[in-house]
A and B are shown apart, each in its own frame.
Chain A
């Protein structure tokens, strides 16, 4: 019969590298029509990082995301970036973008201050305007200021910046240090049905609570979590690279290296646990890799909850789960009655 079980798994995960430097750089220029151009060396692989970087630049400049034209990943021309790895783009590249945009904005404030009759530190960038804090009716369109900066003041509003997460190398004596600048945390709960006659495991539901600092784009955060869970389910139940004695892969294609299909996916509930990390751009950290960290552990715990067996080598295929169930039954039958339980 099918037995239902629930399992929970928690994780923490570091954002960016440790030991090695992993800087990102960015350039932001504000154009005379009030739009901005962002140059970044990082690459978009579908996770939506260029959207998020555009949002960060837009937020820092007080303009709309669609006003930001992002130019990325041209190693001839774009500023250096360590790469779309280590779940670091929003955090590390995002900080570089924010600083670059702030540098461009500082030029706009300097140029706009005498135009508005105030000091530069009394200005803010909002709603596509440079305006006086507390007196938003005293404002100039951002494009107007950018044009003035360029053709009258000879100070084009271009900002460049780089950022490298500060870490402290670990002391060889004590092991103490600060290997990463920030961490994210998550908990996932899996609900599974295990058929105790066949060993087959079906994941019915996954609830995933993830901390990523500020969720700059909640829809993309959800997408990362859902995708990570799919990979975690494959890792837990289906995916295994098999080799022969000579080291040749026995299943080098999708016929027998089985990845989850739409029919293998459970209902997923995503809970974004928002908080503010003061070291991240607008409080953001990251979300990529952490999403698939706790899934397999939660499923393995749910299998134990359902049928009382521990699968200690993944994937928990039906064969392995059934063998463990049979072994457990045999152990129980052979147990001498005189021994204490």
Chain B
């Protein structure tokens, strides 16, 4: 067994796991953090993307032991009880997700991008989420939402503390 201690979403967590346990298994099965999705389980789809020490990684390709002593951010660590993260708000307001299975991975890839590049071009955004497969949306609204979130995080738009429901009805 491997004994490990790591920072998960700001909390110090410890576990004793078989050495072949992946970070994805650790998060989902030991810590009950099921936001990181098990899609292909071989690093193709990006549904399990989490942020480790600021870098987006496929949690299915990283051993839990490799995360020992490091800081892991999952989708559960993004929103607070009071409010969504600006990226999540932008995704909600622009209907950037449909079935949503790829959502946690896309949003975390976007977060890692915006932390190292607060003013990305469309090309930068396409590159940053190119490891996250989405079957529903065609990515268009995701790219728009990430641009919108970038503006909000740069303080160029007023953020809403409570997202209002999207209303598309016409009079």
Contacts and interface: CB of A to CB of B under 8 A. Distances in A.
B67 interface: no
Interface string B132-162: 1111111111110000000000000000000
Interface residues of B, number: 34
Among B97, B132, B133, B167, the one with the most A-chain Cβ atoms within 10 Å of its Cβ is: B167
A253 B44 contact: yes
Interface stretch (A91-99, A217-225, A303-311): A217-225
Contact of A265 (B94, B136, B138, B169): B138
A223 B135 contact: no
A47 B100 CA distance: 10
A231 B95 CA distance: 18
A45 B97 CA distance: 11
Given A65-B165, A66-B167, A265-B139, A46 B100 contact: yes
B126 interface: yes
Contacts of B132: 262
Contacts of A219: 94-95, 166, 168
Q: Could you say which interface size class chain A belongs to?
A: 35 or more
Contact of B140 (A51, A226, A255, A263): A226
Interface in B53-107: 94-95, 97-100
Interface in A28-77: 45-48, 51, 55, 58-59, 64-66
B112 interface: no
Given A46-B97, A263-B126, A227 B167 contact: no
A290 to B, nearest CB: 15
B42 interface: yes
B137 A223 contact: yes
A214 B169 CA distance: 11
B169 A217 contact: yes
A254 interface: yes
A255 B15 CA distance: 32
A9 interface: no
Contact of B130 (A51, A215, A262): A262
A212 interface: no
A230 interface: yes
A303 B23 CA distance: 45
Nearest to A257: B44
A190 to B, nearest CB: 14
Contact of A254 (B40, B100, B136, B168): B40
A259 interface: yes
Given A253-B42, A254-B133, A223 B95 contact: yes
Nearest to A263: B130
A261 interface: yes
A139 to B, nearest CB: 18
Given A65-B165, A261-B130, A223 B139 contact: no
A219 B170 CA distance: 12
5 contacts: A219-B95, A222-B140, A223-B98, A259-B135, A262-B132
